Structure 1
Amino acid sequence: MTLATLVEVLGPAKAQGHAVAGLVALGWEDMRAYVAAAEAEDCPIILQAGPSCREHTPLRVLGKMFRHLAEGARVPVVAHLDHGYTFDECKEALDSGFTSLMFDGSRKPLAENIAETAAIAEMAHKAGISCEGEIGFVGYDNGEASAGTDPDEAALFSRETGVDAMAISVGNVHLQTDQSGGLDEDRIAAIQAVTDVPLVIHGGSGVPAAQRRKLATQTNICKFNIGTELRQAFGNALRDAVNRDPDRFDRVQILKDTHDPVVAATRAVLQTMRG
């Protein structure tokens, strides 16, 4: 059994100078491919259930799916709630077997974000699992604008909440479909200068691969969340599988054809987080 907490994979990553991928899952096909890729690369991964995934599949089902894959894997696998917005949602994830909770209070005033994140971190730690919080606001491509993380607020947040990992806003955005941007390395350095907590980049798909590798090996950024990049790989593979044979209608056979392309794309992502 290789089910792990966030602390158990980020601690070695920080000490050894690499990052761990937080891979946003939407269903059985992609999460299964993610684990196969991690085994092929011999590295830990974090399976993440975000809001869109939870709309489609109940948390209690996702917890069982994640744990089933983790228990059969040859590498450490974290079962992680991504962007939990309420205490009750985080408690449900804990009760569903998740080993890491990410509470997102980044839209709230600082004092509320700290107080609510601290309560969830306390709940997680009492249960022997991990907690990630977010300070600053990571926006969305062609949507809500980001609010960059203030280093002084980051220091206060990490100290007062007791989180095991801290998501920051440093030029990253969710749902970016290309890697034309880049992160603000001066802001990252300023944040790292005032807190030692492992740092997390949401919207990692939009970070150029070379910068991803540099930051993973030279800074305290220990986790990059990757969603859009692998959704694109899955979508392209599924489209090819459907179009290859118009007479084929068995969705199990069609979906099987997505496995190898998604494994290959995931392996490429995992390779960007090591030296």
Structure 2
Amino acid sequence: MTLVTLKDVLTPAYNQGYAVGGLVTLGWEDMRAYVAAAEAENAPVILQAGPSCREHTPLPVLGKMFRHLADNASVPVVAHLDHGYTFEDCKIALDSGFTSLMFDGSRKPLQQNIDETAAIAEMAHAAGISCEGEVGFVGYSGGEGSNGTDPAEAAQFAKESGVDAMAISVGNVHLQENKEGGLDEDRIRQIDTMTEVPLVIHGGSGVPIEQRTRLARETSICKFNIGTELRMAFGAALRDAVNQDPSRFDRVTILKETHAPVEAAARAVIRAFGAPPQG
């Protein structure tokens, strides 16, 4: 299997009751480990390039990296733009070979968000790729507070925007390092009953593992974005590698030692989503 769209992996997840990991990448080392983890678990994976990743590496380069990994993978791999804030962001990602565009208009008034997301969805669909939108703002740990998703607004957004997946704000928070919180399941079920589109949880690192597994099985949540949890695994592995021999300076040698720990952490994340073996 090879490069696929977001819709390609979320449609079976929606129909069969499991989720796919949207794993947030920052560089070659973690994205390579994520694909290795997906192959080891025989499950699909979504490689995500968010704003901080794009600050470090230009989108055209990221597109080539994602596509190279996908072309050599034995499982489905999605090349996904995470939190594109402008039409231009999304157009550059499309031109760079991404197969999924996430436009984030969640800070904007509902109708403006719908209209701008619909334009991105139209562009994506014309090119044969997917679009994810967001309704209700997901806040940041230690930063901006969340604005929870109104179920009626979610229903309108899902109907009018044309998205293939819809991110919602239901107690999830970006950059959360612990799992002491949890999601508002009543609100999720209200949204679920009013929509027929795969749902997405951003800030998935703060969601307890048991809840991830159960909601993937029982609701329309088909994608959890996981970043902080995996960055912590990478940081710990890198710190250990540096501290083992302070005289080392070759970064290739040092970075190689992050692969196995990050792959193991990603395997645990992917396994909890319950995807059946890929045919």
Q: Which category of TM-score, normalised to the shorter sequence, fits these structures?
A: over 0.9
Rounded to whole Å, the distance in 1 between the matches of 2:74 and 2:245 is: 35
Q: How far apart are residue 271 of structure 1 and its match?
A: 1.3
Q: How far apart are residue 179 of structure 1 and its match?
A: 0.3
Q: Identity across aligned pairs (percent)?
A: 76
Rounded to whole Å, the distance in 1 between the matches of 2:191 and 2:24 is: 25
Rounded to whole Å, the distance in 1 between the matches of 2:97 and 2:65 is: 10
Rounded to whole Å, the distance in 2 between the matches of 1:176 and 1:141 is: 5
Partner of 1:33: 33
Partner of 2:79: 79
Q: How far apart are residue 248 of structure 1 and its match?
A: 1.1
Q: How far apart are residue 15 of structure 1 and its match?
A: 1.2
Partner of 1:183: 183
Rounded to whole Å, the distance in 2 between the matches of 1:167 and 1:20 is: 14
Q: How far apart are residue 246 of structure 1 and its match?
A: 1.2
Instruction: For structure 1, list consecutive stretches of 5 or more residues without a partner in the other structure.
Output: none
Partner of 2:240: 240
RMSD, matched Cα: 0.7
Rounded to whole Å, the distance in 1 between the matches of 2:56 and 2:83 is: 15
Rounded to whole Å, the distance in 1 between the matches of 2:15 and 2:107 is: 31
Rounded to whole Å, the distance in 2 between the matches of 1:13 and 1:46 is: 13
Rounded to whole Å, the distance in 2 between the matches of 1:156 and 1:186 is: 19
Q: TM-score, normalised by structure 2?
A: 0.98
Equivalent residue of 2:262, what SS?
A: helix
Rounded to whole Å, the distance in 2 between the matches of 1:14 and 1:66 is: 24
Partner of 1:146: 146
1:137 aligns with 2:137: yes
Rounded to whole Å, the distance in 2 between the matches of 1:173 and 1:20 is: 19
Rounded to whole Å, the distance in 2 between the matches of 1:16 and 1:37 is: 22
Q: How far apart are residue 272 of structure 1 and its match?
A: 1.3
Partner of 2:252: 252
Rounded to whole Å, the distance in 1 between the matches of 2:16 and 2:153 is: 27
Rounded to whole Å, the distance in 1 between the matches of 2:189 and 2:61 is: 40
Rounded to whole Å, the distance in 2 between the matches of 1:142 and 1:274 is: 31
Partner of 1:108: 108
Deviations 1:188-246 (A, max 9, x none): 00001110100000000000000000001110000000000000000000000000011
Rounded to whole Å, the distance in 1 between the matches of 2:235 and 2:15 is: 36
Rounded to whole Å, the distance in 2 between the matches of 1:159 and 1:141 is: 31
Partner of 1:201: 201
Counterpart code for 2:124? A
Rounded to whole Å, the distance in 2 between the matches of 1:248 and 1:114 is: 52
Equivalent residue of 2:182, what SS?
A: coil
Matches within 5 A, 1:5-20: 5-20=5-20
Q: TM-score, normalised by structure 1?
A: 0.99
Counterpart code for 2:104? D
Deviations 1:239-267 (A, max 9, x none): 00000011111100000000000000000
Equivalent residue of 2:23, what SS?
A: strand
1:216 aligns with 2:248: no
Aligned length: 275
Instruction: For structure 2, list consecutive stretches of 5 or more residues without a partner in the other structure.
Output: none
Q: How far apart are residue 19 of structure 1 and its match?
A: 0.1
